[in-house]
């Protein structure tokens, strides 16, 4: 079955799904996106993703392509048409087509593109082994709170990690970890406190982060939202990442050294279990 892709109101076979070369998403990375997880044919935390999309659009003075209700209706139809039960739904809004020039065009129509990718989300083989992570300088721009498609710096970092035989990179600015290439970063300190960077322009406000920090607090685990250094990772008992597609995933090696005993830690495993157990309750589409 050919996958159908949503492009501005139409559901088109993959080979016919096209956007103009004059689209500002193509020319300027003038576009924002969201990735939500499909579990049992439903989208997890979709409303929270749509809220973050609205914020990204507003920070860039970009018009929404249509109402949230229209987006949700199209998402629903796309899931049905493609019959994906587990995987990802990618959604991208760009400022649309205009002659190439730096200022925002006065008259352009935002475009909306969405597609699904089937993927094993629950059964990720890395759960048992954990991830190997390297540190690398954070080369990104200074508005990482806006989820734009300008993703070359994290792509370079991820590529560097793979070349080094690792799974991912944690990006470092002024000796503090900002976040992973496509995830938020956490350590568990020697006194069992979860540390993750506070929200601000330096990192993306992960939807999974919000859910997981809430679960940690409910479980009586102390959480400190402040930056941590490379040296603190080396001293940590556990480390992990969160993202919509990875949920909670253990980090067992950092720059070639074991984190803790080099195995997924108990707090990480506990949070992953709670996240998965409640994911279907949070499947809101």
Residue 147 is among the residues annotated as catalytic for this protein: yes
Taking Cα atoms as reference points, which of 257, 126, 265 lies closest to residue 183? 126
Closer to ligand PMP at the Cβ: 30 or 179?
179
Is 75 or 184 the residue whose CB approaches ligand PMP more closely? 184
Residues near ligand PMP (CB under 6 A): 35, 179, 182-184, 204, 206-209, 242-244
What is the nearest approach in angstroms of ligand PMP to the Cβ of residue 192? 23
- Residue 137 gets which letter from DSSP? E
What is the Cα–Cα distance from 285 to 283, expressed in whole angstroms? 6
Smallest distance from ligand PMP to CB 90, Å: 11
Distance of closest approach, residue 87 Cβ to ligand PMP, in angstroms: 14
What DSSP assignment string belongs to 4-70?
EEEETTEEEEGGG----TTBHHHHH--EEEEEEEEETTEEBTHHHHHHHHHHHHHHTTPPPSS-HHH
The least distance separating ligand PMP from the CB of residue 101, rounded to whole angstroms, comes to 29
Identity of the residue, 94 or 183, whose beta carbon is nearer to ligand PMP in the bound complex: 183
Q: Which is nearer to ligand PMP, 46 or 208 (CB)?
A: 208
The pairing of strands 31-39 and 42-43 is: antiparallel
Q: Which of these is catalytic: 42, 132, 147, 237?
A: 147
Residues assigned a catalytic role: 147
């Amino acid at each position: 079955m050919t996958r159908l892709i949503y492009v501005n109101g139409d559901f088109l076979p993959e080979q016919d799904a096209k956007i103009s070369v004059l689209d500002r998403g193509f020319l300027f990375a003038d576009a924002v996106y969201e990735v939500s997880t499909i579990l049992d044919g439903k989208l997890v935390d979709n409303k929270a993703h749509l809220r973050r999309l609205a914020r990204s659009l507003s920070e860039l003075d970009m018009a929404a392509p249509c109402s949230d209700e229209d987006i949700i209706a199209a998402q629903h139809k796309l899931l049905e048409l493609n019959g994906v039960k587990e995987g990802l739904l990618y959604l991208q809004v760009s400022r649309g087509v205009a002659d190439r020039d730096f200022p925002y065009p006065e008259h352009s129509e935002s475009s909306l593109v969405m597609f699904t990718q089937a993927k094993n989300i629950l059964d990720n083989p890395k759960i048992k082994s954990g991830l190997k992570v390297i540190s690398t300088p954070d080369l990104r721009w200074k508005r990482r709170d806006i989820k734009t498609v300008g993703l070359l710096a994290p792509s370079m970092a991820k590529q560097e990690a793979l070349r080094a035989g690792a799974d991912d990179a944690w990006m470092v600015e002024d000796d503090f970890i900002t976040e992973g290439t496509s995830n938020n970063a956490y350590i568990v300190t020697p006194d069992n406190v979860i540390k993750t960077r506070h929200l601000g322009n330096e990192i993306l406000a992960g939807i999974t982060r919000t859910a997981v920090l809430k679960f940690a607090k409910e479980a009586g685990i102390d959480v400190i939202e402040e930056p941590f250094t490379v040296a603190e990772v080396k001293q940590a008992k556990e480390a992990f990442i969160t993202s919509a597609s990875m949920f909670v995933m253990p980090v067992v090696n950092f720059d070639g050294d074991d984190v803790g005993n080099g195995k997924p830690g108990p707090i990480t495993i506990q949070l992953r279990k709670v996240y998965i157990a409640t994911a279907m309750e949070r499947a809101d589409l």
